[in-house]
């Protein structure tokens, strides 16, 4: 597998895994698509929601995070995971927060993009 493909897959896996984790948290707290999932929230208790999310979100997210460590070096994998975490948290704050897009959220997204660009640049410089 080429280096560029490996890092592209690592970034995509990081985004999907972090998204799964925070979608699962929102589901347990009854904040994920509240109008659409209202009947499910009414019939499921908190324990049932946690059990569902453990199977549908936590297991695939942990698999994707371990996949990142398998395809790239450990220190670079950690940087990818942290960058995707910051990006997903920034997007989550825009979606859930009442303020919408603020300069802080834009700064977090810009910083994340800079971290990922620096990672790719360093990889090509080292190759």
Give, for all 127 residues of the chain, the pLDDT tens digit: 788 788 889 999 999 999 999 999 999 999 888 899 999 999 999 999 999 999 999 999 999 999 999 998 888 888 889 888 888 888 887 777 666 677 877 887 888 888 777 877 776 676 5
Q: What is the DSSP code (8-state) at residue 45? A: -
Range of the domain at 48: 3-126
Q: Which residue has the tokens 């700064």?
A: 107
Domain count, the chain: 1
C-alpha closest to that of 77 among 87, 62, 91, 67: 67
């Amino acid at each position: 597998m080429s280096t560029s493909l490996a890092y592209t897959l690592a970034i995509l896996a990081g985004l999907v895994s972090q998204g799964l984790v925070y979608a699962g948290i929102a589901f347990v707290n009854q904040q994920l698509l509240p109008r659409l999932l209202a009947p499910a929230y009414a019939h499921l208790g908190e324990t049932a929601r946690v059990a569902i999310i453990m199977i549908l979100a936590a297991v695939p997210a942990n698999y994707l995070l371990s996949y990142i460590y398998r395809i790239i070096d450990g220190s670079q994998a950690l940087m990818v995971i942290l960058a995707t975490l910051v990006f997903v948290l920034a997007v989550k704050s825009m979606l859930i927060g009442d303020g919408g897009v603020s300069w802080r959220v834009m700064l977090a997204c810009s910083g994340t993009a800079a971290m990922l660009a620096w990672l790719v640049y360093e990889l090509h410089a080292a190759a």
